[in-house]
Structure 1
Amino acid sequence: MATLYRAIVCSLVFQHLPWTASAAKEDLRYVNPLIGTDNGGNVFAGASLPYGLAKPVADVAGQNTGGFSTDGSKVTGFSHMHDSGTGGNPSLGNFPLFPQYCADNIVDNCKFPITARAVYHNNHTVVSRPGYFALTLENGIHAEMTAAHRSALYRFTFPAKSAVNGDALDPLILLDLTDLWESRQNASIAIDPHTGRIKGNGTFLPSFGAGYYMSYFCADFAGARVRDSGIWVNDRAGSEPKELFVTRGFNNFYLQAGGWVTFDSPDSGEVTARVGISYISSDQACANAESEIPSPLDDFERLRTEAEEAWADKLSPIKITPGGVSSSMLTSFWSGIYRAMLSPQDMTGENPLWQSNEPYYDSFYCMWDQFRAQMPFLAILDPSALSRMVRSLLDTYKHEGWLPDCRMSLCKGWTQGGSNADVVLADAFVKNITGIDWDLAYKAMVNDAENEPLEWEYEGRGGLQSWKRLNYIPYLDFDYLGFGTNSRSISRTLEYSYNDYSLSVVGRGIGKKDYTKYLSRANNWQNLFKKDQTSYLENGTDTGFVGFLQPKYLNGTWGYQDPIACSALASFCSLTSNPSETFESSVWEYLFYVPHDMATLIKLLGGPESFVSRLDYFHTSGLADIGNEPVFLTVYDYHYAGRPGLSAARAHTYIPASFNASETGLPGNDDSGAMGSFLAWSMMGLFPNPGQNVYLIIPPFFEAAEITHPETNNTATIRNVNFDSSYRNIYIQNATLNGRPYTKSWIGHEFFTQGMTLELTLGETESDWGSRKEDLPPSLSDAVAGMDVHRV
């Protein structure tokens, strides 16, 4: 109840903020960055620009993967770099600051180690808005923060007297040479005794990848006279020396160390901390801060306003006619869109690994999550940014030899399934994202399909000998060309099939004759379909369905994986825990992952009626894991069986039950805005089949949605007739496109670029709209529609 109460209060506060009267800023008031900060959403709640590198927020001791959580745990510091929505180990959180008082103004009376200094905050004081975050600690210190692109600005307001004993004390701000994961290998720090400027660097480990990275900082303070400074190690501090080099420590004894500055009690009570960050050098971190925040005492409100304006501009292509829906539904919608533009982070000019004039983006975390909804969303909302991201992927290929599948902090992240940058490229191609060298893109995709890297756990694909010879990835494959986690044979087979389909799309589109080879490989998924395989629940109940994917050995004989294993009814399966032949998903769920040839899948499963029955069982039995990305397309797979109305009904079972405006309002990790994008697409009434020029149509959750394409400046409109905000009328009875009858259950990207109007007449019961064979979304096995890979 406390979480729900805070969500309601936050929503009411947003509705009375003194925003500028522009439409975009009116929408911005509905963004609540606290959604998903509890219950495993791991959302970043702090201040950031769109795709910004600097991301300041309060870090807590509890659910701190994204830094801050509304779980009520203690605040341990305020750090300047974060990722949003990721799973696994906490990401970034490098070089946190922590303000406090020292009893009797004796530095050694302050608390330096993380657990000793941690303090509760008052929940009702938390304010989180685009470009701004604030809270008040239990000791009375009020912390506010905002961000430029590569630097953060904090404003700490100290009470006139200590909350501990009422004495007038001088404040201290420490800087800790650590990160949220405590992965630091070594670090250096230096304090200027005259100005209090702290500079330093550290070597850290990526939270979901291989190798290490170095990051740098430069911290300046203003608002009060610097009284003293020095370093601290473990629980003791000293004014001398002013420099320190620290290693990790031995075994479990993690050395805690950093620097500190004390100030005379400020007249205004405020001390600002400006922190520049860089991956190049401490000097560049200082230069970033000085150029972006030249006057720390005066720039706070300017930065905050500029951040609001930047976010309002990014939201401006979309306009909603609510039609009486609740403010919480609007908050869910706009917050989901906001989270889609927190990552990847624009690190152009901050890449020390190679020299290039191309953009560099980082925190693709991971494309296995992002390609399904988040990156296709940018194709309509911010195509110029998507172009820069794709160019960055291709530049990474040029300099490192492979398209990344997952990347963070300059490091190669673990590959979760296939080479899913291929799907990102194909999606950009069919949607005519400009500024991309498509010959280079095709070369990079062919490299994924033909060449096996030595270490395919973090780039490319493994098992390519078997893939080419046997046309599937075998269970317990014999692979001596490269090395990786020898698991996921089922999910990799399905993903490789779609990766090769994506390659054929680009190849055919730019006139490459060998595209037919990859089009043929796109059928390989069928080689793991065992038509007589049954499935039982854990209590022995027969699910009643026959025909499932199963692992297959090198010699062509069948292995076995329980179809319900790795589902929401069984144990979670990942690379590190319980590795199986499907990744983070079950055989039940992966069975529906044939995005390019659903017609063949439906035929294998006994036809449309049997397929719908199986899909219903999957979603109603507890097998479906709505908290993980592979489930997304299954919500809309009814379209391919001629039942688009059931896709609409299924979307309404998950929204708002699993996606809502509370702090626990996400069913799983947001994964760089993937969950938010799924929500936003669904509420707008379209869902992409990424890598294809296909958007599946359901009625929007609003009376109307308008999307103005940022490059063509044409406005696409989806309008409901007979809309009711109680959602009784959720079934399309008939439709018109630009005033003419429209019977297809899908539409292409030209809807956005040309600015069409789709009007949907709704009713309370399912109709036969979109049910004819000629109205179904295209499949590869369809001789006509399946070859439609045209660009728009």
Structure 2
Amino acid sequence: MHDSGTGGNPSLGNFPIFPQICPDDDINNCNYPISARATNYTNDTVKAEPGYFAVTLANGITADMTVSKHAALFRFDFSKANTGNGTANPLLQLDLTDLWESRQNASISVEAEEGSTSGRIKGNGTFLPSFGAGSYVLHFCLDLAGGTIKDSGVWVNNRAGTEPKTLYVTRGFNLFYLEAGGFVRFQGPLSGPILARMGVSFISTDQACSNAEKEIPGPNFDFDGLVSSARDAWSQKFSPISIEAGGVNDSMQVNFWSAVYRTMQSPQDYTGENPHWTSDEPYFDSFYCIWDMWRVQLPFLTIVDPVTQSKLVRSLLDTYKHRGWLPDCMMSTCKGWTQGGSDADNVLVDAYVKNLTGIDWELAYEAIVNDAENEPLEWSIEGRGGLTSWKKLNHIPYLDYDPLGFGTNSRSISRTLEYSYNDFNVATLAKALGKDTYTKYLDRATNWQNLFRPGLPSNINGTDSGFTGFFQPKYMNGTWGYQDPIACSPLANFCSLTSNPSETFESSAWEYQFFVPHDVRKVVELLGGTDTFLRRLEFFHTSGLADIGNEPVFLTVYLPHYVGRPGLSAERAHSYIPSRFNSSTNGLPGNDDSGAMASFTLFANIGLFPNPGQNVYFIIPPFFESVSITNQITNKTATIRNLNFDATYKNIYIQNATLNGEPYTKNWIGHEFFAQGWTLELTLGGEESAWGTREDDLPPSMSVGQGSVDVEAVY
């Protein structure tokens, strides 16, 4: 019940529990409201591992916790509490809230008799998704053991009572947030820690209890066994990857493995917990949001956990079957806000070109064509808006007239660029499946060019940047609007859906000028040729315009590959790692965005960076002496190895390469590398070389006909 590093409103965090000792043994002297009960913790007591967390509060109470799949087990040690020397009567409080304090209503029932050695608190609440529409209901079942119960009851605001044992609470008068919950107090002194087992379910309270009882059986909850099981589960997820560090410092290795961990927190497997429809297909949630995930995080799962990635794709298609649309964002079983195009299209086609199995590709084609052709009433939460203009005018206009549906009428530049890539992906799957719509969607994939305005200058603090030609908004009548190319960049104001909505989303026109994943060579031409293109990239990354903490920038790091300068891509990756991505407290340049920042780090470290929706990985030297990844499906191990590697990263330029012992000159490679377990050896040096620089060595680009949308089986 947590989403990691997503930004926006705090997500989930439902039904927190909190240990206290009430001064003077009076339950009304405990601090129940969130602001009142806040307690410092001792920094050097924090211990965090996959599946385990521990901390000691400033008052001496120690809490540690572990997990199963649908439940958690908490252990509270009051023996060193700084009041009563362990003889006081400890209280455990449950709060009917979530991190956002979005609760609309909730109910609770306390089943804990005086003198009993165990107790149970059950209930549910209705909450709001943190970045979406509607609401969701979550149920909980909390079992307590480890001492003799002194009393129990409910609390409201800052007062508690032992009667009644049930409570129903709404949002409160005039949306005032009423704080409330339940408590159980134990008779001191305790002989050991209090154990608290929390089960949750989106289906029912009974299922929440059943989940907990099945996964963490009582009465003697096996805390250490759960910690071991969680560690084993994570070790199994990590097991496809191995590295030979080659003298690289521990901090880089911690950064690498922590990033692997963060890529695997979302989407979350809610199979069996879908309250909306019944299906035999997998159900995953917390696609939060696919705009953030499709570029690097989901492609990383494709190489290290293709079995799960196939299930994710099947879940997306099952959502289409039952809701009528592929989700662009989904959390807490609710529809999330669409940020740009129909990004699930890119995910499905990426799975196809990498030959993931067990997926109904005819259904996938139907789903992405639905995105391309049909406009929903609420395109703010699904599908694409402005399709009438898209088909008639070949771009999304500034201040579009769109009577067919409604959404935030902004982002005309970024949506035009994203729709173009969406349609390229539709064309890719259409051609592969033998559909006659291939040329139609390939033609629509060129629409991005209609918003390029040659000659437009860009000034920064009154100084001419020296570069001209940027994407600009265009009205329905074909005349140009204007958005300052630096608007929405780190040098100006951040632009989102709700704050400062603009014609580019979360990035500037400077950044979006490079977002044409399927036709970078055409971008190079429009921006003035190779030399100007490279100078423009250099200026972008060194002037403060580049926002490395947001996803649209990722591809720009590797664009020099398209003009035969892979060494510049390696330089740029090293300029950001480890300076902006490292193991320090401030080791992320922004929100992790469901593992997006983590995956950017990982692909750079591995030395192969994807252009998803296409069977392309850009090659740079790994940040370790070698990296190996074993494919779950073929059980074959792919290895990329550096020769002449030095841990100080002076040798970051590829001089030559061999693939399975044979010379290899292309500066990119396909997914066959991972699926078939090939070995790529890179000989490194301290200066750029001629490797990967010839026309035949460059990645495919639509306008020059280099394998534009050809798909070959990779297994």
Normalised by the size of structure 1, how large is the TM-score? Answer: 0.89
Verify the 8 A CA contact 1:569 1:623 in the aligned structure 2: yes
| Structure 1 equivalent of residue 92 of structure 2 | 173
How do 1:47-86 and structure 2 match up within 5 A?
Answer: 81-86=1-6
**CA distance in 2 between partners of 1:746 and 1:250 (Å):** 61
Q: CA deviation at 1:768?
A: 1.7
Q: Which residue pairs with 1:51 in the alignment?
A: none
**Against the structure 1 CA distance between its residues 171 and 716, is the aligned structure 2 distance closer, same or farther, given a 3 Å change threshold?**
same
- Say if 2:62 is the partner of 1:142: yes
In structure 2, which of residues 577, 581, 584 is the aligned counterpart of residue 655 of structure 1?
577
Deviations along 1:641-663, one digit per CA (max 9) or x if unpaired, are: 11100000000000000000012
Residues 92-111 of structure 1 aligned to structure 2 (within 5 Å): 92-111=12-31
CA change 1:264–1:493 in 2 (3 A) is same
Q: What is the percentage of aligned positions where both structures have the same residue?
A: 68
**Match of 1:568, as an amino acid?**
P
Higher deviation after alignment, 191-200 or 388-397: 191-200
By how many angstroms is 1:790 displaced?
2.3
Following superposition of structure 1 onto structure 2, how do residues 270-419 of structure 1 map, counting pairs within 5 Å? 270-295=193-218, 297-419=220-342
Q: Distance in 1 between matches of 2:401 and 2:49?
A: 52
The amino acid that maps onto 1:315 is F
Are the equivalent residues in 2 in contact too, given 1:475–1:554 (CA < 8 A)? yes
Correspondence list, 1:690-769, <5 A? 690-769=612-691
Residue aligning to 1:527: 450
Residue of structure 2 aligned with 1:686, choices 598, 608, 628:
608
Note closer, same or farther for the CA distance 1:178–1:240 as it changes in structure 2 (3 Å cut): same
Structure 1 residues 380-459: aligned runs within 5 Å? 380-459=303-382
**Whole-Å separation in 2 of the counterparts to 1:203 and 1:693:** 43
Question: Does 2:431 match 1:508?
Answer: yes
Equivalent position of 1:115 in the other structure: 35
Contact 2:608 2:619 in 1 (8 A): yes
Change (3 A) 1:362 1:266: farther
Q: Which of 360, 363, 387 does residue 464 from structure 1 map onto?
A: 387
CA contact (8 A) 2:314 2:359 kept: yes
Deviation, 1:159, is 2.0
SS of equivalent residue, structure 1 residue 197: strand
> How big is the shift at 1:621?
0.5
Q: CA deviation at 1:252?
A: 5.5
Return the match for 1:570 from 486, 489, 492: 492
Runs of 5+ unmatched residues, structure 1: 1-80
The answer to whether the aligner puts 1:605 opposite 2:527 as a matched pair is: yes
The equivalent residue for 1:595 is: 517
Structure 1 102/170 Cα, relative in aligned 2: closer, same or farther at 3 Å?
A: same
Q: Is the 8 A contact 2:432 2:710 kept in 1?
A: no
Amino acid at match of 1:97: I
Does the alignment pair 1:192 with 2:111?
A: yes
Distance 2:385 2:687 in 1: 48
Report matched runs for 1:541-560 at 5 Å.
541-560=463-482
Whether contact under 8 Å (2:15, 2:95) holds in the other structure is yes
1:622 aligned residue: 544
CA distance, structure 2, for counterparts of residue 418 and residue 689 of structure 1: 17
Q: Does 1:774 align with 2:693?
A: no
1:164: how far off? 3.8
User: Deviations for 1:675-707, whole angstroms, at most 9, x for unmatched residues?
Assistant: 101101100001000110000000000111111
Q: How does 1:625-644 map to 2 (within 5 A)?
A: 625-644=547-566
Question: What is residue 57 of structure 1 aligned with on the other side?
Answer: none
- Are positions 1:91 and 2:14 aligned together? no
- CA separation in 2, counterparts of 1:250 and 1:495? 44
Q: Which residue matches 2:483?
A: 561
Cα pair 1:156 1:271 within 8 Å, conserved: yes
Quick one: structure 1 residues 260 and 750, their matched pair in 2 at CA, closer, same or farther if it must change by over 3 Å? same
Q: SS of the residue aligned with 2:154?
A: strand
Q: What SS is found at the alignment partner of 2:702?
A: coil
Deviation at 1:455, TM superposition (A): 0.5
Which amino acid is the alignment partner of residue 185 of structure 1? Q
**8 Å Cα contact 1:272/1:297 also seen in 2:** no
Match in the other structure for 2:169: 246
Matched, 1:213 2:213: no
For the structure 1 residues 697 and 668, does the alpha-carbon distance in structure 2 shift closer, same or farther, using more than 3 Å as the test? Answer: same
Letter of the 1:181 partner, please give it: W
Distance 1:298 1:187 in 2: 28
Q: Which amino acid aligns with 1:178?
A: T
Tell me if 1:787 matches 2:706.
no
The Cα offsets for residues 376-395 of structure 1, whole Å up to 9 and x where unpaired, read as 00111000101111111000
Which of 223, 231, 234 is the equivalent residue of 2:154?
Answer: 231
Whether the aligned pair in 2 keeps the contact of 1:430 and 1:789 (CA below 8 Å) is yes
Match of 1:29 in 2: none
- Structure 1 residue aligned with 2:411: 488
- How far residue 749 of structure 1 moved from its aligned partner, in angstroms, is 0.3
Q: 1:716-750, CA deviations, whole angstroms, 9 ceiling, x for partnerless residues?
A: 11011110000000000111111111110000000
Q: Secondary structure at the match of 1:787?
A: coil
Query: What residue in structure 2 maps to residue 673 of structure 1?
Result: 595
Range with bigger deviation, 287-296 or 571-580: 287-296
Of 186-195 and 171-180, the range deviating more from structure 2:
186-195
Distance (whole Å) between structure 2 residues aligned to residue 756 and residue 634 of structure 1: 27
| Distance (Å, rounded) in 2 between the aligned partners of 1:267 and 1:280 | 36
Q: Which amino acid aligns with 1:724?
A: D
Q: Distance in 2 between matches of 1:493 and 1:703?
A: 42
Within 2, Cα distance between the matches of 1:268 and 1:720?
Answer: 57
Q: 2: CA distance between counterparts of 1:178 and 1:234?
A: 12
Aligned to 1:17: none
Shift of 1:225: 1.4
148 and 167 in structure 1: CA distance in 2 versus 1, 3 angstrom threshold: closer
The Cα of 1:109 is off from its aligned counterpart by 1.3
The Cα shift of 1:227 comes to 1.6
- 8 Å contact 2:71–2:215 — kept in the other structure? yes
SS across alignment from 1:480: coil
SS, match of residue 153 in structure 1: strand
TM-score, normalised by the number of residues in structure 2:
0.98
2:78 alignment counterpart: 158
| Distance (Å, rounded) in 2 between the aligned partners of 1:266 and 1:523 | 74
SS in 2 for 1:172: strand
Q: Give the residue type in structure 1 aligned to 2:63.
A: A
- Distance in structure 2 (CA, Å) of the matches to 1:561 and 1:738: 50
Structure 2 distance, partners of 1:227, 1:354, is 43
Q: Does residue 129 of the first structure (1) align with residue 52 of the second (2)?
A: no
Shift in Å, 1:251: 3.2
Which residue identity lines up with residue 187 of structure 1 in the other structure?
A
Per-residue CA deviations over 1:465-502 (Å, capped at 9, x if unaligned) read: 00000100000000000000000000000000000111
CA gap of 1:167–1:669, structure 2 versus 1, over 3 A, is closer
Cα offset for 1:271?
0.3
Q: Secondary structure at the match of 1:217?
A: strand
Letter in 2 for 1:752: F
Distance 1:218 1:703 in 2: 49
Work out the CA distance in 2 between the residues paired with 1:422 and 1:791. Answer: 19
